[in-house]
Structures are given as C-alpha cells and as structure tokens.
Amino acid sequence: MLDNPKVKSVRLAKNHAQLMAMAEALELVVPAVAPYREATLQQLTTMTEERQRAINTDHEVVVAFWERFHELNGQGERPYLNHSADKNLIAVNIHEWLEMATERWRDVPTLAELREHLPTSKRHKFLESSRAVRSAIRTNGPATVRCWIFSTAHHDD
C-alpha cells in the first residue's frame, strides 16, 4: 500500500494493509473464500484510494464558504470582504461574511459549523482566528477588525 502513488497517508495505507492481511489469513481458516481473494484485495485497494481522495478534499461547508467568499468579495479592484493589505493573506471577518451571505442565500452554514470546519481548509490554508487586523477596505467605522486569517496559496496537504 505504501508503494501505491495514489495513497499518501501512512496511517491509511497501514490500516488497509492490515485488512488485506486479514483477508489473506482468512483463507487459511475458511478455504471457501479463496476464490474471492483477488476481488477482495482489489476492493480494499479501491477503498484506500477513495478514502485518500476524501481526505484530500475540503468539507462541504468549507467548499461552500470559499465559493461564496470569492463571489461576495468581488473580482474588481476593491474587495468587499478581504481586510488584508497583504496579497498573500485573506483576512475575513466571519460575522461580516455571514451577514452578507445570509442576505443572498438561504443555505448558509451556521457560525458553529464555520468554526468547526474552516480550520481544516485546504483551498486556503487556515493560519489563525480572531487576529486584530488593520482593515484595508474599511473607509468608515473602526479601522481594526477581528478576522480569521488564511493563506491565498492553494494547499493540497
């Protein structure tokens, strides 16, 4: 399993390899399962690869958050949600995002769901929550905003 280029997680490879070893050992105790050996091993390999793909993707709440963030933030010269002056960072006030998203969509995740799932973000790596940021977009009101900070670079690990 560790030689399979589609499997990067050592834990995942070892767990499924143990299941494969158990399936092979089962033949010694129950010879009637011998004809199913190759199909069983292939199915376990497929399951390992599928699980690796699942681990590599963001949770559906995170996917929806980033799709909506980029739509709400705008593609023009002036961003609406990203308070960061640093082009390598995204600084978003979660409460502002929720307010804007709720005005536009019905199926918006709750604050609790965002707090649970956003730290696992792979599309934009989560760096920290509740950092005081001098807003690059506020023209009136307080210039310092509490934001969640993410990297603008895409991360696969």
How many of the other CB atoms lie within 10 Å of CB of 148?
Answer: 22
Rounded to an integer, the average pLDDT of 117-131 is 93
CA 125: distance to chain centroid? Answer: 9
- Looking at residue 155, what is its pLDDT? 52
Most confident of 15-19, 141-145, 153-157: 15-19
Report DSSP letters for 41-61, one per residue. HHHHHHHHHHHHHHHHSPPHH
Q: What's the chain's average pLDDT?
A: 90
> Residue 109 and residue 103: Cα distance in Å, rounded?
13
Percent of the chain residues past pLDDT 90, beyond the cut: 70
Q: What is the pLDDT of residues 59-72, one digit of tens each?
A: 999 999 999 999 99
Please report the pLDDT score of residue 157 as a whole number: 43
What local confidence, expressed as pLDDT, does residue 47 receive?
94
Rounded to an integer, the average pLDDT of 96-110 is 93
